Structure 1
Amino acid sequence: MIYFDNSATTAPDDSVLTSFIEVNKRFFANPASIHLAGKQAETLLEKSRAQILSILGVQDGQVIFTSGGTEANNLAVIGFARALRSRGNHLITTEIEHPSVLNAMAYLETQGFEVDYLTVDEQGMISTEELKNKLRAETVVVSIMHVNNEIGTIQPLAECARIIKKHSRALFHSDAVQSFGKLPVSLTGDGPDAITISAHKINGLKGSGLLAFRKGIPPQALNFGGGQEHGLRSGTVAVADAVAIAKAMRISSLDEEQQEFRQWRNRLIRFIEPFKDAVVLALDKAAPHIVTIAFYKIKGEVAVNFFQEKGIIISTSSACSSKSSAAGHVIEAIRLADKYKNGVIRVSFGKDNHEQHVAEFEQVFAQFMELLGRGND
């Protein structure tokens, strides 16, 4: 099987699994306990937290371990909006965010907050001029994802950060679930104030993620209990999960993989270009590991099934919405022509892929188009 659905999830790395198992065996004690075993578990937990902050380029920051990207995005959007409400009730996001951000924003609208949704162009790019114009004195949170999970568009976070800091006091959060390990991600001065990372997107374990942010006003907690994670995420902390996500972040070989993925993406773009009934979305603006293709009057599910029969796993869109037959909110937002809307597939590379896999994808793609009577020009 050739697995090209790494934006949905990745296979856990052997070393991550080994760390997870070893920590569960040797440091299983509750890190909140005052006995020696508990202190040892706590020391390992805090070491993982420090390692993550170092990877993100800061020392004076905070890491809250969560159950994944969805919880971390909820904590960021709802938690910071509530914590900063004394400054104002205005929020900004984009119309192509992950549902964990969009639905959190929709909830906050029922609680008296006002939300502006930045539009995107046909490649999924926001306008930084629109961002600037939408900022107000009462804007308290701006959430803009780094890489879109469906079409791969890279948003200009550094430019957004400069505009937000110059024209408001808003906290800037970014969902970096699809970008960490593929593009530079940090909490340094020219980046967001808070970022979300999910372990299973970087060869870690499902059910594990984090929200990292600079020191300052923390978000309000969304759940209540024993006050773990600095009171922001109560519940016994899973030390093994924390160690495993720190390990996954450390082994993400950014430079090497980014260069290889970019070469493969460019190769596929050149290969697909002559086919008259297939177009690549976010052609010039996407992350190196994502190639999203739209077919003319062909359902994406048909392509997915054909490729699967040939031993290649791809997807129709985000795994969070791929079971729906309707065009997703991202496809609607980029105003893709109706004749292409239902024919979207996504190819996403991972560390276990090889150039030969790309060559085999090309062969199957050509077979698929020939079968449909839609050969290249």
Structure 2
Amino acid sequence: MIYMDNSATTQVLPDVLASYNKVSEQIWGNPSSLHQMGEVAANLLQQSRQQIANLLGVKRDEIVFTSGGSEGDNWVIKGTALAKQKFGKHIITSSVEHAAVRNTMKQLESLGFEVTYLPVDQQGRVNPADVKAALRPDTILVSVMAVNNEIGTVQPIGEIGEILKAHPKVHFMVDAVQAIAKGMDAVWFSDRVDFVVFSGHKYHAPRGTGFVYVKAGRTLAPLINGGGQELGRRGGTENTPAMVAMARALRIAKEQEAKVVAQERAIKQAIIDHVSQFEHVKVFSGNDAGFAPHILCFAIVGVRGETIVHAFEKHDIFISTTSACSSKKAETSTLSAMGVDQHVAESAVRISLGDQNTMADAEEFNRVFDELYSNFTKIMG
């Protein structure tokens, strides 16, 4: 089996699963309880928080645990809207955000907020000048993802941050779900970024885990009210085993980061070099610093994306149609925003690499591609 759908989810590492199981079996106290079992759980939770903070070079209390990227996106956007609506109801975002951002914005629009959706160029990239032009006195939030989940475009977060230094009261959020441990910390993390959203299952942690970086001094209304957990920012009993596992997974990912990024770049290039030779293939992802190392989107024009996915699946190769969160709804938001013809966009598929992929995987992918392409061209006539 060759698994190339790591942007959808990753396999939990054995060591990470072992940590989860050990804590589940031995330390099941509620971190909010006053007795010793609760204190042990609370200490372990804080150790995990500190480990994540150390790995990212931030303060411990700037890390807030969540259930994943979708919750994090919802919390920062809605939390900003609730906390700052008396100052304004205008939000700026890009036209190529993940569904968790896009649909949250739509919900806020139905509640009276105004959202400006910035256009992108033919590589799916926002122009920082458009951000500057869209800013208004009533703007309360700018939300731009670090790495596009469909084609891997790296957004100019640093340049946008420089513009926002002149607007210190505007919250700046970055969805970095696809950027963690991909050799681009400098892209999504600067002194002007206020909130950064992460999801654990994108780097071998269990599903249902995530965290948000909340810059000290920035205020968000809670999305989940409860018993005051997470310093009152996110109610509900913390999932201690999962958070411990998530912290361990991040440590492992950061230790291997440089090696894995180089490996992913090489595999990605080998596939690009091969498939781009074919007449009916359109490659949307580059492999320079402007694109993430692990995401490759291309189309066999005239063949629907789901047909391509299932054809590879018959050879035990697993890829996807753009975003896993929208693939079953036939959404092609990023490619459409880039001006790609709908007929071409419907043929798009996404390869997303991980540390388990090898050059041998690329060679087998290319071999199977040749076979499938020959069959597809016969169908297309």
- Indicate the TM-score class for this superposition, using the shorter chain for normalisation: over 0.9
1:121-160 → structure 2 map (5 Å cutoff): 121-160=121-160
Q: SS of the counterpart of 2:91? A: strand
Post-superposition offset of 1:188: 5.2
Post-superposition offset of 1:337: 2.2
Q: SS of the counterpart of 1:46? A: helix
Q: SS of the counterpart of 1:230? A: helix
Equivalent of 2:361, from 338, 357, 361?
357
Structure-2-length-normalised TM-score: 0.94
Q: Which stretch has the larger CA shift, 113-122 or 280-289?
A: 280-289
Amino acid aligned to 1:256: K
- For 2:34, the equivalent position in structure 1 comes to 34
Amino acid aligned to 1:122: Q
CA distance in 2, matches of 1:63, 1:190: 16
Kindly tell me: are residues 260 and 191 of structure 1, through their superposed partners in 2, closer, same or farther at Cα, counting changes over 3 Å?
Answer: farther
- For 2:193, the equivalent position in structure 1 comes to 192
Equivalent of 1:278, from 257, 276, 281?
281
Post-superposition CA distance 1:73-102 (Å, at most 9, x none): 100111022212333222111111111111
Kindly tell me: are residues 188 and 196 of structure 1, through their superposed partners in 2, closer, same or farther at Cα, counting changes over 3 Å?
Answer: closer
- For 2:232, the equivalent position in structure 1 comes to 231
- For 2:205, the equivalent position in structure 1 comes to 204
8 Å Cα contact 2:263-2:358 kept in structure 1: no
8 Å Cα contact 2:308-2:349 kept in structure 1: yes
How much is the aligned-residue C-alpha RMSD, in angstroms? 1.6
Equivalent of 2:261, from 258, 276, 287?
258
8 Å Cα contact 1:157-1:191 kept in structure 2: no
Equivalent of 1:312, from 317, 324, 333?
317
Amino acid aligned to 1:271: H
Post-superposition CA distance 1:93-149 (Å, at most 9, x none): 111111111111112222322211111112110111101111123221111111111
Post-superposition offset of 1:185: 2.7
Post-superposition CA distance 1:267-287 (Å, at most 9, x none): 221112210100111335321
Equivalent of 2:370, from 350, 366, 373?
366
Q: Identity over aligned residues, as a percent?
A: 38
CA distance in 1, matches of 2:167, 2:205: 38
8 Å Cα contact 1:60-1:214 kept in structure 2: no
Structure-1-length-normalised TM-score: 0.95
CA distance in 1, matches of 2:192, 2:51: 19
Which segments of 5 or more consecutive residues in structure 2 lack a partner in the other structure?
A: none
1:15-26 → structure 2 map (5 Å cutoff): 15-26=15-26
- For 2:215, the equivalent position in structure 1 comes to 214
8 Å Cα contact 1:84-1:140 kept in structure 2: yes
Kindly tell me: are residues 166 and 60 of structure 1, through their superposed partners in 2, closer, same or farther at Cα, counting changes over 3 Å?
Answer: farther
Kindly tell me: are residues 282 and 188 of structure 1, through their superposed partners in 2, closer, same or farther at Cα, counting changes over 3 Å?
Answer: closer
* Runs of 4+ displaced beyond 6 Å: none
Kindly tell me: are residues 166 and 293 of structure 1, through their superposed partners in 2, closer, same or farther at Cα, counting changes over 3 Å?
Answer: same
CA distance in 2, matches of 1:329, 1:336: 10
Q: Which stretch has the larger CA shift, 52-61 or 76-85?
A: 52-61
Q: How many residues align?
A: 373
8 Å Cα contact 2:50-2:60 kept in structure 1: no
- For 1:114, the equivalent position in structure 2 comes to 114
Q: Which stretch has the larger CA shift, 139-148 or 178-187?
A: 178-187
Post-superposition offset of 1:329: 1.6
Post-superposition offset of 1:43: 0.6
CA distance in 1, matches of 2:359, 2:54: 33
Matched, 1:330 2:334: yes
Which segments of 5 or more consecutive residues in structure 1 lack a partner in the other structure?
A: none
Post-superposition CA distance 1:263-314 (Å, at most 9, x none): 1112221112210100111335321101101111111112111111111111
Post-superposition CA distance 1:201-223 (Å, at most 9, x none): 10110011111111113210122
